[in-house]
Amino acid sequence: MADEQQLCTFFLDDRFFGVGVENVQEVIRYLPITPVPLAPPVIRGLINLRGQIVTAVDLRRLLQLADRAADLRPMNIVVQTRDGIFSLLVDRIGDVMGVDPACFEHPPDTLDGIARELIQGTYKLQGRLLLTLNVAKLFRPNILNRSVERQEPDSENPTAPA
């Protein structure tokens, strides 16, 4: 088990995800979010993380899933990347798990769109699949902005003019 990877796990509905613990700065309960008008819809707004202003990105919107119910308050997974510190908004937090690289498999070819770029692969655990996310890619400006184009039709939050 020496090369076992530690993942910080969480849920969107009953979908089970994980990111490498080395990228995770901390996990915190719901914090009030200040929305940023004209921002890409995946950016839910800004949170005050002990005096530091952190951009909160909704993983549901990033993966093009339906929005969570209004009464469900998202949890923050604070992630450090080359692009800065972000908070990933998720439904529920799971445990930190050690996973055996032997059960890793790349995503199936049927996976496409933005999910294909963001989902690194799956760990085949007993009874369920754990999807791992590519943290380095999650918060790239082109990813955050691209999801705007895809969600444009609902026009709730059009792009800012150039």
Partner 1 sequence: MAKAKATLRATDAAMDEIIKEFLTESLEGLDQLDNKFVMLEQNPEDRDTLASIFRTIHTVKGTCGFLGFGHLEKVAHAGENLLSLLRDGKLNFTQEIASALLSMVDAIRTMLGEVERTEADGEESYPGLIETLNRLKDGGSAAPPSTAPSPLLAPASLPVTPVTASAPSPLLAPATPATASAPPPSPAPEPAISPVPAAAESTSASVAPELHPTPAERAAVAPTAPSGAPSVADSSIRVDVPLLDKLMNLVGELVLARNQILEYTVLQENPPLLAASQRLSMITSELQEGIMRTRMQPISNIWAKFPRVVRDLALGCSKQVRVEMEGKETELDKSLIEAMKDPLTHLVRNAIDHGVEMPAARRAAGKPEEGCLLMRAYHEGGQVHIEISDDGAGLNPVKLRSKALEKGLITPDRAAAMSEQDFRRLIFLAGFSTAEKITNISGRGVGMDVVKTNIERIGGVIDLESELGRGTTFKIRIPLTLAIVPALIITSGGERFAIPQVNLLELIRINEEQRNTAIEYVHSNPVYRLRGKLLPIVNLNRELKLITTVVASVINIVVLQTGQHHFGLVVDQINDTQEIVVKPLDKVLQDIPVFAGATIMGDGRVALILDVLGIAQQARILSDSHDQNLAAQLRAARERDAERQTLLLVRAPGDGRLAIPLAPVSRLEEFETHQIENAGDVDVIQYRGHILPLIRLKDILGERRSFDRLAHTGTSAAAANLMQVIVFGDGVRRVGLVVDEILDIVQDVFEIKGRSTRAGIAGTLVIQNRVTELFDIQSFLQRAAPLLALVEEA
CA angle centred on 81, ends 44 and 89, rounded to 5°: 30
Do residues 77 and 10 touch, judged by C-beta distance below 8 A? Answer: yes
What is the H or E stretch that residue 92 is in? strand 92-99
34 binds partner 1 (CB under 8 A): yes
Contact (CB, 8 A) for 129 and 111: no
53 binds partner 1 (CB under 8 A): yes
- What is the 3 state secondary structure string of 39-66? CCCCEEEEEEECCEEEEEEEHHHHCCCC
Q: Is 40 in the site for partner 1 (CB under 8 A)?
A: yes
> What is the DSSP-derived secondary structure letter of residue 33?
-
List the interface residues with partner 1, window 107-146 (CB under 8 A).
Answer: 139, 141, 144-145
Q: Which two tokens stand for residue 112?
A: 């496409």
Q: Which of 1, 38, 66, 70 binds partner 1 (CB under 8 A)?
A: 38
Of 132 and 157, which has the nearer Cβ to partner 1? 157
Nearer to partner 1, 10 or 139 (CB): 139
Contacting residue, 83, 92, 93, 94, with partner 1 by CB under 8 A: 83
Measured from the CB of residue 161, what is the shortest distance to partner 1 in angstroms? 6
Instruction: Round to whole Å and give the CA distance between 102 and 121.
Output: 12
* Closest distance of CB 123 from partner 1, Å: 30
The site for partner 1 (CB under 8 A) is made up of 32, 34-40, 43, 45-48, 51-53, 55, 83-84, 86, 139, 141, 144-145, 157-158, 160-161
